[in-house]
Structure 1
Protein backbone atom coordinates (compact mmCIF):
# COMPACT_ATOMS: atom_id res chain seq x y z
CA UNK A 1 0.00 0.00 0.00
CA UNK A 2 1.47 3.36 -1.06
CA UNK A 3 1.87 6.38 1.22
CA UNK A 4 -1.11 8.11 -0.41
CA UNK A 5 -3.21 4.95 -0.02
CA UNK A 6 -2.26 4.77 3.66
CA UNK A 7 -3.18 8.42 4.21
CA UNK A 8 -6.49 7.92 2.40
CA UNK A 9 -7.34 4.78 4.37
CA UNK A 10 -6.55 6.52 7.65
CA UNK A 11 -8.76 9.44 6.61
CA UNK A 12 -11.63 7.01 6.01
CA UNK A 13 -11.24 5.95 9.65
CA UNK A 14 -10.51 9.43 10.99
CA UNK A 15 -12.65 9.22 14.11
CA UNK A 16 -11.26 5.78 15.03
CA UNK A 17 -7.69 7.06 14.54
CA UNK A 18 -8.48 9.97 16.86
CA UNK A 19 -10.04 7.73 19.51
CA UNK A 20 -6.87 5.60 19.54
CA UNK A 21 -4.12 8.23 19.24
CA UNK A 22 -5.88 11.32 20.65
CA UNK A 23 -7.96 9.65 23.35
CA UNK A 24 -8.04 12.72 25.60
CA UNK A 25 -9.99 14.68 23.00
CA UNK A 26 -13.61 14.50 21.96
CA UNK A 27 -15.77 14.93 18.91
CA UNK A 28 -17.36 18.32 18.27
CA UNK A 29 -19.53 18.20 15.16
CA UNK A 30 -17.34 17.40 12.16
CA UNK A 31 -14.12 17.83 14.19
CA UNK A 32 -12.08 16.00 16.82
CA UNK A 33 -10.59 18.48 19.31
CA UNK A 34 -7.67 17.88 21.69
CA UNK A 35 -4.81 19.87 23.21
CA UNK A 36 -2.03 18.88 20.80
CA UNK A 37 -0.67 16.06 18.68
CA UNK A 38 0.85 14.41 21.77
CA UNK A 39 -2.66 13.91 23.22
CA UNK A 40 -2.53 16.50 25.99
CA UNK A 41 -5.92 17.80 27.15
CA UNK A 42 -7.21 20.99 25.53
CA UNK A 43 -8.75 22.27 22.31
CA UNK A 44 -5.91 23.75 20.23
CA UNK A 45 -5.62 20.86 17.76
CA UNK A 46 -8.56 19.90 15.57
CA UNK A 47 -8.93 17.04 13.09
CA UNK A 48 -11.50 17.05 10.30
CA UNK A 49 -13.57 13.85 10.51
CA UNK A 50 -15.81 14.10 7.43
CA UNK A 51 -15.92 15.53 3.93
CA UNK A 52 -13.24 16.14 1.34
CA UNK A 53 -10.67 17.17 3.97
CA UNK A 54 -11.26 14.26 6.34
CA UNK A 55 -8.04 13.37 8.15
CA UNK A 56 -6.47 16.82 7.87
CA UNK A 57 -5.43 18.39 11.17
CA UNK A 58 -4.17 21.77 12.35
CA UNK A 59 -2.78 22.93 15.69
CA UNK A 60 -4.02 26.49 16.10
CA UNK A 61 -1.41 27.31 18.76
CA UNK A 62 1.65 26.31 16.71
CA UNK A 63 0.48 26.42 13.09
CA UNK A 64 1.50 22.79 12.59
CA UNK A 65 -0.68 20.76 10.25
CA UNK A 66 -0.71 17.55 8.26
CA UNK A 67 -2.56 14.32 7.60
CA UNK A 68 -3.17 11.37 9.90
CA UNK A 69 0.03 9.61 8.84
CA UNK A 70 1.97 12.69 9.99
CA UNK A 71 -0.05 12.70 13.22
CA UNK A 72 0.73 9.06 14.00
CA UNK A 73 4.45 9.64 13.38
CA UNK A 74 4.64 12.64 15.70
CA UNK A 75 2.32 11.15 18.32
CA UNK A 76 4.40 7.97 18.57
CA UNK A 77 7.81 9.58 17.94
CA UNK A 78 8.40 7.53 14.78
CA UNK A 79 10.42 8.15 11.66
CA UNK A 80 8.38 8.11 8.41
CA UNK A 81 9.12 4.46 7.60
CA UNK A 82 8.17 3.28 11.09
CA UNK A 83 5.05 5.45 10.97
CA UNK A 84 3.98 3.67 7.80
CA UNK A 85 4.45 0.32 9.56
CA UNK A 86 2.38 1.57 12.49
CA UNK A 87 -0.38 2.73 10.12
CA UNK A 88 -0.41 -0.62 8.30
CA UNK A 89 -0.79 -2.41 11.64
CA UNK A 90 -3.61 -0.08 12.63
CA UNK A 91 -5.42 -0.61 9.33
CA UNK A 92 -5.43 -4.37 9.82
CA UNK A 93 -8.34 -3.88 12.24
CA UNK A 94 -11.51 -5.42 10.78
CA UNK A 95 -13.44 -2.20 10.25
CA UNK A 96 -15.33 -0.97 7.22
CA UNK A 97 -15.97 2.72 6.61
CA UNK A 98 -17.28 4.66 3.59
CA UNK A 99 -14.56 5.61 1.14
CA UNK A 100 -13.70 9.22 0.33
CA UNK A 101 -11.74 10.57 -2.56
CA UNK A 102 -8.00 10.94 -1.94
CA UNK A 103 -6.96 14.21 -0.38
CA UNK A 104 -4.32 16.18 -2.22
CA UNK A 105 -1.20 15.86 -0.12
CA UNK A 106 0.84 18.69 -0.04
CA UNK A 107 2.40 21.90 -0.97
CA UNK A 108 6.03 21.06 -1.55
CA UNK A 109 5.73 22.57 -5.04
CA UNK A 110 4.27 25.75 -3.56
CA UNK A 111 7.13 25.89 -1.05
CA UNK A 112 9.69 25.56 -3.84
CA UNK A 113 8.04 28.27 -5.94
CA UNK A 114 7.79 30.66 -3.02
CA UNK A 115 11.40 30.11 -1.96
CA UNK A 116 12.58 30.87 -5.49
CA UNK A 117 10.83 34.25 -5.24
CA UNK A 118 13.04 35.24 -2.30
CA UNK A 119 16.32 37.11 -2.40
CA UNK A 120 19.59 36.60 -0.49
CA UNK A 121 19.47 37.65 3.15
CA UNK A 122 22.37 40.17 3.44
CA UNK A 123 21.32 43.84 3.75
CA UNK A 124 17.62 43.00 4.18
CA UNK A 125 15.06 43.36 6.97
CA UNK A 126 15.44 39.63 7.59
CA UNK A 127 19.14 40.05 8.31
CA UNK A 128 18.36 42.98 10.63
CA UNK A 129 15.80 40.85 12.46
CA UNK A 130 18.24 37.99 13.03
CA UNK A 131 21.03 40.36 14.11
CA UNK A 132 18.61 41.87 16.61
CA UNK A 133 18.16 38.33 17.96
CA UNK A 134 21.88 38.31 18.76
CA UNK A 135 22.92 36.13 15.83
CA UNK A 136 26.58 36.86 15.04
CA UNK A 137 27.33 34.06 12.57
CA UNK A 138 27.19 34.27 8.79
CA UNK A 139 23.74 34.65 7.26
CA UNK A 140 24.47 34.22 3.56
CA UNK A 141 23.10 30.70 3.95
CA UNK A 142 21.44 28.73 1.12
CA UNK A 143 18.52 27.76 3.36
CA UNK A 144 17.48 31.37 4.12
CA UNK A 145 15.95 34.05 1.91
CA UNK A 146 14.02 37.29 2.22
CA UNK A 147 10.68 38.18 0.65
CA UNK A 148 9.89 41.94 0.65
CA UNK A 149 6.09 41.61 0.40
CA UNK A 150 4.55 38.25 1.25
CA UNK A 151 0.79 37.82 1.48
CA UNK A 152 -0.71 36.99 4.88
CA UNK A 153 -4.25 36.18 6.01
CA UNK A 154 -5.13 35.73 9.71
CA UNK A 155 -7.86 33.28 8.56
CA UNK A 156 -9.07 32.07 5.14
CA UNK A 157 -11.95 34.55 4.87
CA UNK A 158 -9.92 37.63 5.89
CA UNK A 159 -8.56 40.16 3.39
CA UNK A 160 -4.91 39.71 2.41
CA UNK A 161 -2.16 41.79 3.99
CA UNK A 162 1.38 42.24 2.72
CA UNK A 163 4.39 42.01 5.06
CA UNK A 164 8.11 41.38 4.58
CA UNK A 165 9.17 37.87 5.56
CA UNK A 166 12.08 35.61 6.38
CA UNK A 167 11.89 32.38 4.34
CA UNK A 168 13.55 29.17 5.56
CA UNK A 169 13.65 26.15 3.22
CA UNK A 170 12.85 22.75 4.71
CA UNK A 171 14.73 20.00 2.85
CA UNK A 172 14.97 16.23 2.89
CA UNK A 173 18.18 14.23 3.12
CA UNK A 174 18.78 14.61 -0.60
CA UNK A 175 18.54 18.40 -0.41
CA UNK A 176 15.12 18.66 -2.10
CA UNK A 177 12.89 21.46 -0.78
CA UNK A 178 9.83 19.83 0.75
CA UNK A 179 8.49 22.72 2.83
CA UNK A 180 8.97 26.28 3.95
CA UNK A 181 8.75 28.30 7.14
CA UNK A 182 7.61 31.90 6.77
CA UNK A 183 8.32 34.45 9.51
CA UNK A 184 6.53 37.72 8.78
CA UNK A 185 8.48 40.79 9.89
CA UNK A 186 7.65 44.28 11.08
CA UNK A 187 8.17 46.90 8.37
CA UNK A 188 9.68 49.49 10.71
CA UNK A 189 11.75 47.64 13.31
CA UNK A 190 13.74 44.38 13.55
CA UNK A 191 11.01 42.23 15.05
CA UNK A 192 8.26 39.85 14.05
CA UNK A 193 5.21 41.46 12.46
CA UNK A 194 2.41 42.51 14.84
CA UNK A 195 -0.02 39.87 13.53
CA UNK A 196 -1.81 36.91 15.10
CA UNK A 197 0.44 34.15 13.73
CA UNK A 198 3.69 35.69 12.45
CA UNK A 199 5.23 32.26 11.87
CA UNK A 200 3.72 29.58 9.63
CA UNK A 201 5.01 26.51 7.81
CA UNK A 202 3.78 24.82 4.66
CA UNK A 203 4.68 21.68 2.75
CA UNK A 204 5.98 18.34 3.99
CA UNK A 205 7.89 18.81 7.26
CA UNK A 206 7.87 15.35 8.84
CA UNK A 207 11.37 13.89 9.00
CA UNK A 208 12.86 16.95 7.30
CA UNK A 209 14.48 20.17 8.54
CA UNK A 210 16.07 23.51 7.72
CA UNK A 211 19.75 22.65 7.28
CA UNK A 212 22.81 24.79 7.97
CA UNK A 213 26.04 23.15 6.84
CA UNK A 214 26.88 19.77 5.27
CA UNK A 215 26.45 16.76 7.55
CA UNK A 216 29.21 14.18 7.98
CA UNK A 217 29.24 12.11 11.18
CA UNK A 218 28.35 14.89 13.66
CA UNK A 219 25.19 17.01 13.77
CA UNK A 220 23.27 19.24 16.16
CA UNK A 221 19.49 19.38 15.81
CA UNK A 222 16.97 21.62 17.51
CA UNK A 223 13.62 23.32 17.11
CA UNK A 224 13.61 26.94 15.94
CA UNK A 225 15.59 28.85 13.33
CA UNK A 226 16.81 31.41 15.86
CA UNK A 227 17.78 28.70 18.36
CA UNK A 228 19.94 26.84 15.87
CA UNK A 229 21.47 30.00 14.40
CA UNK A 230 22.46 30.86 17.98
CA UNK A 231 24.27 27.50 18.17
CA UNK A 232 25.92 28.33 14.81
CA UNK A 233 27.07 31.66 16.22
CA UNK A 234 28.89 29.85 19.03
CA UNK A 235 30.00 26.73 17.10
CA UNK A 236 30.28 27.81 13.45
CA UNK A 237 31.96 24.61 12.26
CA UNK A 238 29.29 22.27 13.65
CA UNK A 239 26.52 21.45 11.13
CA UNK A 240 23.05 22.08 12.54
CA UNK A 241 19.43 21.60 11.53
CA UNK A 242 16.19 23.22 12.72
CA UNK A 243 13.16 20.91 12.73
CA UNK A 244 10.82 23.89 13.52
CA UNK A 245 8.98 22.29 16.48
CA UNK A 246 9.54 19.78 19.25
CA UNK A 247 7.15 17.34 17.60
CA UNK A 248 8.97 17.45 14.28
CA UNK A 249 12.33 17.30 16.05
CA UNK A 250 11.31 14.00 17.65
CA UNK A 251 10.53 12.59 14.17
CA UNK A 252 13.67 13.91 12.41
CA UNK A 253 15.15 11.45 9.90
CA UNK A 254 18.71 10.56 10.87
CA UNK A 255 21.11 11.22 7.95
CA UNK A 256 23.11 8.20 6.75
CA UNK A 257 26.60 7.96 8.18
CA UNK A 258 25.70 9.93 11.32
CA UNK A 259 27.62 8.74 14.39
CA UNK A 260 26.54 11.22 17.04
CA UNK A 261 23.57 13.57 17.21
CA UNK A 262 23.51 16.47 19.65
CA UNK A 263 20.03 17.76 20.46
CA UNK A 264 19.95 21.47 21.31
CA UNK A 265 16.72 21.20 23.22
CA UNK A 266 14.49 23.95 24.54
CA UNK A 267 14.11 23.97 28.31
CA UNK A 268 10.47 22.90 28.47
CA UNK A 269 8.48 19.64 28.68
CA UNK A 270 8.12 19.37 24.90
CA UNK A 271 11.89 19.72 24.50
CA UNK A 272 12.52 17.00 27.07
CA UNK A 273 10.06 14.69 25.34
CA UNK A 274 11.73 15.25 21.97
CA UNK A 275 15.13 14.32 23.40
CA UNK A 276 13.77 11.17 25.06
CA UNK A 277 12.21 10.03 21.79
CA UNK A 278 15.36 10.74 19.79
CA UNK A 279 17.51 8.87 22.33
CA UNK A 280 15.20 5.84 22.07
CA UNK A 281 15.17 5.95 18.26
CA UNK A 282 18.94 6.43 18.17
CA UNK A 283 19.55 3.47 20.49
CA UNK A 284 17.46 1.26 18.20
CA UNK A 285 19.61 2.29 15.23
CA UNK A 286 23.02 2.28 16.92
CA UNK A 287 23.27 6.09 17.00
CA UNK A 288 24.42 8.02 20.04
CA UNK A 289 22.11 10.93 20.90
CA UNK A 290 23.26 13.47 23.49
CA UNK A 291 21.31 16.50 24.74
CA UNK A 292 22.70 20.04 24.82
CA UNK A 293 21.04 21.94 27.66
CA UNK A 294 20.57 25.73 27.60
CA UNK A 295 21.19 27.89 30.62
CA UNK A 296 17.77 29.53 30.28
CA UNK A 297 14.70 28.79 28.18
CA UNK A 298 16.61 28.19 24.93
CA UNK A 299 19.94 28.91 23.27
CA UNK A 300 18.81 32.09 21.57
CA UNK A 301 17.77 33.48 24.96
CA UNK A 302 21.21 32.47 26.29
CA UNK A 303 22.93 34.23 23.39
CA UNK A 304 20.98 37.43 23.97
CA UNK A 305 21.56 37.38 27.72
CA UNK A 306 25.18 36.20 27.98
CA UNK A 307 26.76 36.68 24.54
CA UNK A 308 28.53 34.31 22.12
CA UNK A 309 31.67 33.76 24.23
CA UNK A 310 29.66 32.52 27.21
CA UNK A 311 27.50 30.35 24.96
CA UNK A 312 30.59 28.89 23.27
CA UNK A 313 32.02 27.78 26.60
CA UNK A 314 28.68 26.51 27.83
CA UNK A 315 28.23 24.33 24.73
CA UNK A 316 31.86 23.18 24.62
CA UNK A 317 31.54 21.75 28.11
CA UNK A 318 28.73 19.48 26.91
CA UNK A 319 30.51 18.04 23.86
CA UNK A 320 32.39 14.76 23.83
CA UNK A 321 36.08 15.80 24.20
CA UNK A 322 37.06 14.44 20.78
CA UNK A 323 34.16 16.36 19.21
CA UNK A 324 35.16 19.54 21.03
CA UNK A 325 38.69 19.25 19.62
CA UNK A 326 37.26 18.81 16.11
CA UNK A 327 34.80 21.70 16.45
CA UNK A 328 37.30 24.12 17.97
CA UNK A 329 40.45 22.92 16.23
CA UNK A 330 43.43 23.74 18.45
CA UNK A 331 41.66 26.54 20.32
CA UNK A 332 40.16 24.26 22.96
CA UNK A 333 37.18 25.80 24.70
CA UNK A 334 38.23 29.35 24.03
Structure 2
Protein backbone atom coordinates (compact mmCIF):
# COMPACT_ATOMS: atom_id res chain seq x y z
CA UNK A 1 0.00 0.00 0.00
CA UNK A 2 1.00 3.66 -0.30
CA UNK A 3 1.70 5.71 2.84
CA UNK A 4 3.12 9.07 3.86
CA UNK A 5 6.72 8.59 4.96
CA UNK A 6 9.79 10.51 6.11
CA UNK A 7 13.29 9.15 6.67
CA UNK A 8 14.49 11.71 9.21
CA UNK A 9 12.88 14.42 11.35
CA UNK A 10 12.66 17.86 9.80
CA UNK A 11 10.57 20.09 7.59
CA UNK A 12 7.72 19.30 5.19
CA UNK A 13 10.22 18.75 2.39
CA UNK A 14 11.18 15.44 4.05
CA UNK A 15 7.74 13.94 3.40
CA UNK A 16 7.12 11.63 0.47
CA UNK A 17 4.87 8.75 -0.57
CA UNK A 18 6.32 5.28 -0.12
CA UNK A 19 5.10 1.75 -0.76
CA UNK A 20 4.97 -0.15 2.54
CA UNK A 21 3.49 -3.50 3.67
CA UNK A 22 -0.27 -3.56 4.09
CA UNK A 23 -1.18 -4.32 7.74
CA UNK A 24 -3.32 -7.27 8.85
CA UNK A 25 -5.99 -6.89 11.56
CA UNK A 26 -5.24 -8.57 14.87
CA UNK A 27 -7.59 -9.83 17.57
CA UNK A 28 -10.62 -7.56 17.78
CA UNK A 29 -9.35 -5.27 15.02
CA UNK A 30 -10.81 -4.10 11.73
CA UNK A 31 -8.86 -3.28 8.58
CA UNK A 32 -9.99 0.11 7.29
CA UNK A 33 -9.56 1.05 3.64
CA UNK A 34 -8.83 4.75 4.06
CA UNK A 35 -10.61 7.30 1.89
CA UNK A 36 -9.46 10.42 3.75
CA UNK A 37 -7.38 11.38 6.76
CA UNK A 38 -7.23 14.76 8.47
CA UNK A 39 -4.05 16.58 9.44
CA UNK A 40 -3.36 17.40 13.10
CA UNK A 41 -0.72 19.38 14.96
CA UNK A 42 0.50 16.06 16.31
CA UNK A 43 1.45 15.05 12.76
CA UNK A 44 3.61 18.14 12.39
CA UNK A 45 5.27 17.53 15.75
CA UNK A 46 5.93 13.86 14.91
CA UNK A 47 7.47 14.86 11.59
CA UNK A 48 9.74 17.25 13.52
CA UNK A 49 10.82 14.47 15.88
CA UNK A 50 9.04 15.98 18.89
CA UNK A 51 6.01 13.68 19.32
CA UNK A 52 6.71 9.97 18.85
CA UNK A 53 3.80 7.55 18.53
CA UNK A 54 2.80 5.57 21.63
CA UNK A 55 4.40 2.13 22.07
CA UNK A 56 2.94 -0.38 19.62
CA UNK A 57 1.29 2.26 17.41
CA UNK A 58 2.01 2.72 13.73
CA UNK A 59 4.85 5.14 12.94
CA UNK A 60 2.87 6.39 9.92
CA UNK A 61 1.28 9.82 10.42
CA UNK A 62 -2.48 10.24 10.77
CA UNK A 63 -4.59 10.34 13.96
CA UNK A 64 -8.03 10.07 12.33
CA UNK A 65 -9.48 8.69 9.13
CA UNK A 66 -12.63 7.79 7.26
CA UNK A 67 -13.23 4.99 4.80
CA UNK A 68 -14.78 1.54 4.53
CA UNK A 69 -14.38 -1.68 6.49
CA UNK A 70 -12.19 -3.95 4.36
CA UNK A 71 -11.57 -6.94 6.63
CA UNK A 72 -12.59 -8.20 10.07
CA UNK A 73 -9.92 -9.61 12.33
CA UNK A 74 -10.41 -12.65 14.57
CA UNK A 75 -12.65 -12.19 17.59
CA UNK A 76 -14.53 -9.12 16.39
CA UNK A 77 -17.70 -8.80 18.46
CA UNK A 78 -19.23 -5.62 17.07
CA UNK A 79 -21.79 -4.96 14.40
CA UNK A 80 -19.36 -3.88 11.67
CA UNK A 81 -19.63 -5.50 8.25
CA UNK A 82 -17.31 -5.43 5.27
CA UNK A 83 -18.09 -2.36 3.19
CA UNK A 84 -19.51 -0.27 6.07
CA UNK A 85 -18.60 3.45 5.82
CA UNK A 86 -16.92 4.43 9.09
CA UNK A 87 -14.61 6.94 10.74
CA UNK A 88 -11.90 6.08 13.23
CA UNK A 89 -9.83 7.50 16.08
CA UNK A 90 -6.20 6.39 15.65
CA UNK A 91 -2.89 6.60 17.54
CA UNK A 92 -1.22 6.74 14.10
CA UNK A 93 -1.32 5.18 10.64
CA UNK A 94 -4.18 7.13 9.05
CA UNK A 95 -2.23 8.64 6.18
CA UNK A 96 -2.01 5.39 4.27
CA UNK A 97 -4.32 3.36 2.05
CA UNK A 98 -5.08 0.90 4.89
CA UNK A 99 -4.92 1.03 8.68
CA UNK A 100 -5.91 -1.42 11.44
CA UNK A 101 -8.29 -0.15 14.12
CA UNK A 102 -9.68 -1.73 17.31
CA UNK A 103 -13.39 -2.20 16.56
CA UNK A 104 -14.33 -0.08 19.58
CA UNK A 105 -12.65 2.98 18.06
CA UNK A 106 -14.84 3.02 14.95
CA UNK A 107 -17.90 5.22 14.55
CA UNK A 108 -20.70 5.35 12.04
CA UNK A 109 -20.62 8.29 9.65
CA UNK A 110 -23.60 10.55 10.33
CA UNK A 111 -26.16 10.63 7.54
CA UNK A 112 -25.55 13.39 5.01
CA UNK A 113 -21.83 13.84 5.70
CA UNK A 114 -19.14 13.17 3.10
CA UNK A 115 -16.08 11.02 3.75
CA UNK A 116 -13.98 14.20 3.80
CA UNK A 117 -16.22 15.72 6.49
CA UNK A 118 -16.18 12.46 8.45
CA UNK A 119 -12.38 12.40 8.44
CA UNK A 120 -12.51 15.80 10.17
CA UNK A 121 -14.44 14.50 13.19
CA UNK A 122 -12.73 11.80 15.31
CA UNK A 123 -9.56 13.31 16.79
CA UNK A 124 -10.69 16.92 17.18
CA UNK A 125 -14.31 16.41 18.19
CA UNK A 126 -13.40 13.71 20.70
CA UNK A 127 -10.67 16.02 22.05
CA UNK A 128 -13.07 18.94 22.40
CA UNK A 129 -15.74 16.72 23.98
CA UNK A 130 -13.22 15.29 26.44
CA UNK A 131 -11.88 18.74 27.41
CA UNK A 132 -15.31 20.28 27.94
CA UNK A 133 -17.22 17.45 29.56
CA UNK A 134 -14.94 14.78 31.01
CA UNK A 135 -12.27 17.17 32.29
CA UNK A 136 -13.86 20.62 32.35
CA UNK A 137 -17.29 19.60 33.69
CA UNK A 138 -18.88 22.38 31.64
CA UNK A 139 -22.26 23.50 32.94
CA UNK A 140 -25.09 25.51 31.42
CA UNK A 141 -24.40 29.19 31.99
CA UNK A 142 -20.60 28.77 32.22
CA UNK A 143 -18.40 31.10 30.20
CA UNK A 144 -15.68 29.25 28.25
CA UNK A 145 -12.57 30.87 26.73
CA UNK A 146 -11.32 28.88 23.74
CA UNK A 147 -7.85 29.73 22.46
CA UNK A 148 -7.16 29.18 18.75
CA UNK A 149 -10.90 29.47 18.19
CA UNK A 150 -10.65 28.95 14.43
CA UNK A 151 -8.56 25.79 14.74
CA UNK A 152 -10.19 22.42 14.23
CA UNK A 153 -10.53 21.79 17.98
CA UNK A 154 -11.65 25.38 18.42
CA UNK A 155 -14.44 25.15 15.84
CA UNK A 156 -15.65 21.92 17.47
CA UNK A 157 -15.40 23.38 21.00
CA UNK A 158 -17.46 26.45 20.07
CA UNK A 159 -20.34 24.29 18.88
CA UNK A 160 -20.16 21.85 21.80
CA UNK A 161 -20.05 24.74 24.28
CA UNK A 162 -23.22 26.20 22.77
CA UNK A 163 -24.85 22.78 22.82
CA UNK A 164 -24.10 22.52 26.55
CA UNK A 165 -25.86 25.82 27.19
CA UNK A 166 -22.59 27.61 27.97
CA UNK A 167 -21.12 30.79 26.45
CA UNK A 168 -18.08 30.43 24.14
CA UNK A 169 -15.49 33.21 23.83
CA UNK A 170 -12.51 32.80 21.50
CA UNK A 171 -9.10 34.16 20.67
CA UNK A 172 -7.70 34.15 17.13
CA UNK A 173 -5.16 36.08 15.08
CA UNK A 174 -7.19 37.55 12.24
CA UNK A 175 -10.52 39.20 11.50
CA UNK A 176 -11.44 36.37 9.11
CA UNK A 177 -10.88 33.72 11.79
CA UNK A 178 -12.88 35.67 14.37
CA UNK A 179 -15.75 36.08 11.90
CA UNK A 180 -15.80 32.32 11.25
CA UNK A 181 -15.80 31.61 14.99
CA UNK A 182 -18.73 33.96 15.51
CA UNK A 183 -20.66 32.32 12.66
CA UNK A 184 -20.24 29.02 14.49
CA UNK A 185 -21.66 30.50 17.69
CA UNK A 186 -18.90 32.35 19.55
CA UNK A 187 -20.42 35.11 21.68
CA UNK A 188 -17.31 37.26 21.23
CA UNK A 189 -13.85 36.99 19.74
CA UNK A 190 -10.59 38.74 20.59
CA UNK A 191 -7.63 39.27 18.25
CA UNK A 192 -4.65 38.43 20.44
CA UNK A 193 -2.38 40.37 18.04
CA UNK A 194 -4.27 43.62 18.56
CA UNK A 195 -5.62 43.52 22.13
CA UNK A 196 -5.14 42.02 25.55
CA UNK A 197 -7.58 39.09 25.47
CA UNK A 198 -7.51 38.91 29.26
CA UNK A 199 -8.78 42.46 29.70
CA UNK A 200 -11.34 41.99 26.90
CA UNK A 201 -12.58 38.81 28.56
CA UNK A 202 -12.95 40.51 31.94
CA UNK A 203 -14.85 43.35 30.29
CA UNK A 204 -17.21 40.90 28.57
CA UNK A 205 -17.85 39.01 31.82
CA UNK A 206 -18.22 42.27 33.84
CA UNK A 207 -15.17 41.37 35.91
CA UNK A 208 -16.26 37.85 36.85
CA UNK A 209 -13.86 36.02 34.53
CA UNK A 210 -14.38 32.72 32.73
CA UNK A 211 -15.25 29.39 34.32
CA UNK A 212 -13.26 27.32 31.85
CA UNK A 213 -10.25 27.91 29.58
CA UNK A 214 -9.27 25.53 26.76
CA UNK A 215 -5.61 26.29 26.14
CA UNK A 216 -3.39 24.83 23.41
CA UNK A 217 -0.84 27.68 23.66
CA UNK A 218 0.91 27.22 27.00
CA UNK A 219 3.60 29.28 28.71
CA UNK A 220 3.24 32.60 26.93
CA UNK A 221 -0.43 32.85 27.96
CA UNK A 222 -0.22 31.77 31.59
CA UNK A 223 -0.46 35.19 33.25
CA UNK A 224 -3.35 36.39 31.09
CA UNK A 225 -5.14 33.08 31.57
CA UNK A 226 -4.96 33.29 35.34
CA UNK A 227 -5.92 36.97 35.26
CA UNK A 228 -9.22 36.29 33.49
CA UNK A 229 -10.01 33.01 35.27
CA UNK A 230 -13.05 33.14 37.56
CA UNK A 231 -12.87 31.98 41.16
CA UNK A 232 -12.83 28.16 41.19
CA UNK A 233 -12.28 28.18 37.42
CA UNK A 234 -10.74 25.33 35.44
CA UNK A 235 -7.82 25.91 33.07
CA UNK A 236 -7.21 22.94 30.78
CA UNK A 237 -3.87 22.77 28.97
CA UNK A 238 -3.83 20.40 25.99
CA UNK A 239 -1.04 21.79 23.79
CA UNK A 240 2.10 23.94 23.73
CA UNK A 241 1.95 25.99 20.55
CA UNK A 242 3.42 28.89 22.54
CA UNK A 243 6.35 28.80 24.94
CA UNK A 244 6.93 25.72 27.09
CA UNK A 245 8.55 27.57 30.00
CA UNK A 246 6.84 29.65 32.68
CA UNK A 247 8.53 32.54 34.45
CA UNK A 248 6.74 34.21 37.33
CA UNK A 249 4.41 33.56 40.27
CA UNK A 250 2.05 31.15 38.51
CA UNK A 251 1.22 29.09 41.58
CA UNK A 252 0.47 31.98 43.93
CA UNK A 253 -1.78 33.68 41.38
CA UNK A 254 -3.57 30.43 40.56
CA UNK A 255 -3.96 29.68 44.25
CA UNK A 256 -5.53 33.08 44.86
CA UNK A 257 -8.24 32.15 42.34
CA UNK A 258 -8.63 28.65 43.82
CA UNK A 259 -8.12 27.65 40.18
CA UNK A 260 -7.56 24.18 38.79
CA UNK A 261 -4.85 23.55 36.19
CA UNK A 262 -5.59 20.31 34.31
CA UNK A 263 -3.39 18.88 31.55
CA UNK A 264 -4.49 16.39 28.93
CA UNK A 265 -3.40 14.51 25.82
CA UNK A 266 -5.60 12.06 23.94
CA UNK A 267 -3.16 10.16 21.73
CA UNK A 268 -1.34 8.32 24.54
CA UNK A 269 -4.48 7.31 26.48
CA UNK A 270 -5.01 3.57 26.73
CA UNK A 271 -7.44 1.64 24.55
CA UNK A 272 -9.99 1.16 27.33
CA UNK A 273 -10.26 4.91 27.93
CA UNK A 274 -10.51 5.68 24.22
CA UNK A 275 -13.24 3.09 23.76
CA UNK A 276 -15.19 4.63 26.65
CA UNK A 277 -14.75 8.07 25.10
CA UNK A 278 -15.87 6.89 21.65
CA UNK A 279 -18.90 5.10 23.13
CA UNK A 280 -19.98 8.14 25.16
CA UNK A 281 -19.44 10.51 22.23
CA UNK A 282 -21.35 8.17 19.90
CA UNK A 283 -24.32 8.08 22.25
CA UNK A 284 -24.42 11.73 23.34
CA UNK A 285 -23.01 13.80 20.47
CA UNK A 286 -22.92 11.89 17.16
CA UNK A 287 -26.71 12.07 16.54
CA UNK A 288 -26.45 15.87 16.57
CA UNK A 289 -24.42 15.85 13.31
CA UNK A 290 -27.53 14.76 11.43
CA UNK A 291 -28.73 17.40 9.00
CA UNK A 292 -32.25 16.54 10.15
CA UNK A 293 -31.55 18.26 13.48
CA UNK A 294 -32.68 21.90 13.88
CA UNK A 295 -29.09 23.08 14.50
CA UNK A 296 -26.79 20.29 13.36
CA UNK A 297 -23.15 20.15 14.43
CA UNK A 298 -20.80 20.90 11.55
CA UNK A 299 -17.26 19.58 10.97
CA UNK A 300 -15.42 22.51 9.37
CA UNK A 301 -13.19 21.52 6.43
CA UNK A 302 -10.83 24.22 5.19
CA UNK A 303 -9.03 22.43 2.35
CA UNK A 304 -8.66 18.97 0.84
CA UNK A 305 -5.24 17.96 -0.52
CA UNK A 306 -4.45 14.82 -2.51
CA UNK A 307 -1.90 12.79 -0.55
CA UNK A 308 0.61 13.49 -3.32
CA UNK A 309 0.59 17.11 -2.05
CA UNK A 310 1.25 16.21 1.58
CA UNK A 311 4.18 18.64 1.78
CA UNK A 312 1.92 21.55 0.81
CA UNK A 313 -0.68 20.45 3.38
CA UNK A 314 1.92 20.56 6.16
CA UNK A 315 3.21 23.95 4.99
CA UNK A 316 -0.34 25.35 5.01
CA UNK A 317 -0.95 24.20 8.59
CA UNK A 318 2.45 25.41 9.79
CA UNK A 319 1.62 28.87 8.46
CA UNK A 320 -1.56 28.86 10.63
CA UNK A 321 -3.68 29.66 7.60
CA UNK A 322 -6.38 27.06 8.10
CA UNK A 323 -9.83 27.61 9.59
CA UNK A 324 -10.96 24.17 10.70
CA UNK A 325 -9.54 20.95 9.26
CA UNK A 326 -7.08 20.17 6.52
CA UNK A 327 -8.05 16.85 4.96
CA UNK A 328 -5.82 14.51 2.94
CA UNK A 329 -7.42 12.43 0.20
CA UNK A 330 -6.08 8.88 -0.30
CA UNK A 331 -6.09 7.13 -3.71
CA UNK A 332 -8.73 4.43 -4.04
TM-score (normalizing by structure 1): 0.27
Which structure is higher in RCO with an 8 Å CA cutoff and minimum separation 6? 2
Structure with the higher fraction of residues in strand conformation: 2
TM-score (normalizing by structure 2): 0.27
